[in-house]
Amino acid sequence: MKAILVLNAGSSSLKFALFATEPALAEQPALAGQIEGIGATPELSARDAAGKRYQEPVTTTGEQAEQHRDALTHLFRWLAAHNPDLEIVAAGHRVVHGGERYSAPVRLSEAVLRELDEFVPLAPLHQPHNLRAVRAVAALLPEIPQVGCFDTAFHRTQPALAQAFALPRAISAEGVKRYGFHGLSYDYVARQLPEVVGERASGAVVIAHLGNGASMCALRDGKSVASTMGFTAVEGLMMGTRTGSLDPGVLLYLMEQKGMDAKALTKLLYKESGLLGVSGISQDMRTLLASPAPEAKEAVDLFCYRIARELGSLAAAAGGLDALVFTGGIGEHAAPVRAKVAEMAAWLGVDIDVSANDAQQLRIDSADSRVAVAVVPTNEEGMIARYTMELLGR
Ligand SMILES: Nc1ncnc2c1ncn2[C@@H]1O[C@H](COP(=O)(O)OP(=O)(O)O)[C@@H](O)[C@H]1O
Ligand SMILES: CC(=O)OP(=O)(O)O
Ligand SMILES: [Mg+2]
């Protein structure tokens, strides 16, 4: 089997998917899974196209970088063992930050990687791990081409106003502006929309990508016009462990009155806040929805409230609201979250069909709703495979 290997590397996890390229690029992966717990007790879990599940421990040694290399070596061996005729023709990577320069997927060379290293401080939770995986693959399989697909690229169509901060010009000119993320997901979902909401797909659309990281995007004619995430992936919505937007005065207060430095603030903003921080229980929406604790309810309520507030703002940017689309782990599966957001968006003409929502149907708007409301499963890996195939001209 000839296939494209798609990788999405995080700090302690490596998500992977294998897409057959012949006779044509497959929409769904032949195999997909992840190695989790890198740095602790790594374990590989995967699922093939027939739904068969696999699980096994992974042995790693040495420092974090070597552990990622070991995890990849294990993955390659495991993939080959499960697909004796496997030929990996290319690797496509999720690279979260492409800065101002990269508005499309790019063939990755050491020179390009060095440029992408510059964006590490802008996406500390993602970028260093993304790039480390590229270098590890280059060392293990030097003969295959590698392609970087950027979360920021889809948003480069935004008008200048949507990308601007009210900062002095000299700082803005250095590239301190709003980039937006989750673009692979938005691009995939936007391409599905004509089938799901018809002509409305080219009108004013807001997509809510609600996963561990969460953001929303306003689209017009299928192109991004505004997003809740900005310079980094911490702006906007409340997330699993990230604050989302915060009065910058809070940071000044914590620095001046509590003596917190940049490192402590980074930890607070990215790892200790959001659903986890507010509930004090978990970052996992499933756990919170099942919990009787009032703190869990408060966290979920705040999560939904923030989405509803941002929806109003994005409708303003899009010039209305023809369709509202939910995606990501929470957007696709958490019916109570969708119901709460819809309730707060009634003023915009949103009305959902309760049973369609509970049944996770593709369209969940009621017959009376002025706005089409949809649940569209995202496929960031499939999008990366498609970009990789296109760029390599296969
Ligand atoms: N059935 C479900 N009901 C509610 N929430 C769910 C369900 N399945 C997954 N989730 C939530 O989705 C979130 C993870 O989203 P996902 O998009 O998979 O994350 P990531 O950003 O890591 O890819 C978690 O908060 C998880 O609890
Ligand atoms: C950009 C971002 O927040 O990504 P994730 O959802 O993978 O954390
Ligand atoms: Mg995600």
pLDDT in tens, 324-342: 999 999 999 999 999 999 9
**The pLDDT value given to residue 66:** 77
**Does ligand 2 lie within 6 Å of residue 181's CB atom?**
yes
The span from the CA of 74 to the CA of 78, in Å, is: 6
**pTM metric for this prediction:** 0.94
> Which DSSP symbol is given to 202?
G
Q: Where in the chain is the domain with CATH 3.30.420.40?
A: 2-150, 198-380
Is residue 137 within 8 A of residue 4, CB to CB? The reply is no
**The pLDDT value given to residue 393:** 85
The span from the CA of 185 to the CA of 8, in Å, is: 13
pLDDT higher than threshold 90 for residue 13: no
Question: If you average pLDDT over residues 222-249, what whole number do you get?
Answer: 97
Is residue 204 within 8 A of residue 317, CB to CB? The reply is no
pLDDT higher than threshold 80 for residue 352: yes
Which architecture, in CATH terms, is 198-380? Answer: 2-Layer Sandwich (3.30)
Our answer to whether residue 117 is catalytic in this structure is: no
Expressed in angstroms and rounded, the spacing between residue 4 Cα and the centre of ligand 1 is 26
**Does ligand 2 lie within 6 Å of residue 152's CB atom?**
no
The span from the CA of 348 to the CA of 79, in Å, is: 49
pLDDT higher than threshold 70 for residue 227: yes
> Which DSSP symbol is given to 153?
G
**Beta bridge mates, 36:** 43
Fold type of domain 2-150: Nucleotidyltransferase; domain 5 (3.30.420)
Q: How do residues 83-122 score in pLDDT, each as one tens digit?
A: 889 999 999 999 999 998 999 999 999 999 999 999 998 8
Question: If you average pLDDT over residues 40-59, what whole number do you get?
Answer: 92
Helix (H, G, I), strand (E, B) or coil at 162: helix
Is residue 72 within 8 A of residue 14, CB to CB? The reply is yes
Residue of 70, 151, 353, 365 marked catalytic: 151
Expressed in angstroms and rounded, the spacing between residue 360 Cα and the centre of ligand 2 is 23
Whether ipTM exceeds 0.95:
yes
pLDDT higher than threshold 70 for residue 394: no
- Token pair belonging to 42: 């790594």
Q: Strand order of the sheet with strand 204-210?
A: 223-227, 214-220, 204-210, 323-327, 372-375
**Does ligand 1 lie within 6 Å of residue 148's CB atom?**
no
The DSSP line for 332-381 is HH-HHHHHHHHHHTGGGT--B-HHHHHTT-SB-B-TT-SSEEEE----HH
Expressed in angstroms and rounded, the spacing between residue 331 Cα and the centre of ligand 1 is 8
Q: Quick one: which of 144, 163, 131 has its CA closest to 8? A: 131
Residue type present at position 260: M
**107 labelled as ligand-binding?**
no
Write out the H or E segment, with its range, that includes residue 183.
helix 183-197
